[in-house]
Amino acid sequence: MSAGACLSRRRAVWQPAVMTATDPIDLTTRHGRRTAQRLRTEEVVWLTTVDPSGMPQPTPVWFLWRPGAPGEPGIGDVLLVSRPGTAKLRNVRQRPGVALHFGTDARGDDVVVLLGRARVEGEERLDADRRAEFDAKYATAMGRLGMTPEGFHDDYRVLVRVVPERLRGW
């Protein structure tokens, strides 16, 4: 086996795992449906930006997925909020190519990596519907941090929009 081989235990016999890349993203495949499920249900996604020296900078973030309308190309967008002045905002402004990925399962399977373009929308806060959705999704987590939704949105007031273009994983 080569040094870079990746193996999967999804079957009874060890077989090389196949890293797929789809462009555009197809949510009707088995992997696409699993990706959509994780976008709907996961609380944390890792946002990887690139700093001025070219070093990848992964950061766990809270997010909302807004699926695209039926018949529209792509899968919609992913909304993140940030405190002003962060390195991730600077990185996105300078290099908008980003990756979003979820943690794997305990065996290293269920890999979801979304590659796309990010844009800092500025202090254009979440609209009322998205804010209600965000607050419902993260109310418990905000409480664990000792924050109210109002306090959270006062601190995390910069909106970032990520448009996924490619999907990798297995």
- pLDDT at residue 119 greater than cutoff 60: yes
pLDDT value, residue 19:
53
> Residue 156 carries which side chain, given as an amino acid letter?
Y
d(C-alpha 3, C-alpha 131), whole Å: 47
pLDDT in tens, 12-66: 444 444 555 656 788 888 988 999 999 999 999 999 999 999 999 999 999 999 9
Q: Give Cβ neighbours of residue 110 (< 8 Å, ≥ 6 apart).
A: 34, 38, 102, 104, 169
pLDDT value, residue 14:
43
Q: Supply the pTM of this predicted model.
A: 0.84
pLDDT value, residue 20:
57
Counts of helices then strands in the chain (DSSP H, E): 4, 10
Token pair 């910069």 is found at 158
pLDDT value, residue 23:
61
d(C-alpha 106, C-alpha 46), whole Å: 17
Domains of the chain: 20-169 (2.30.110.10)
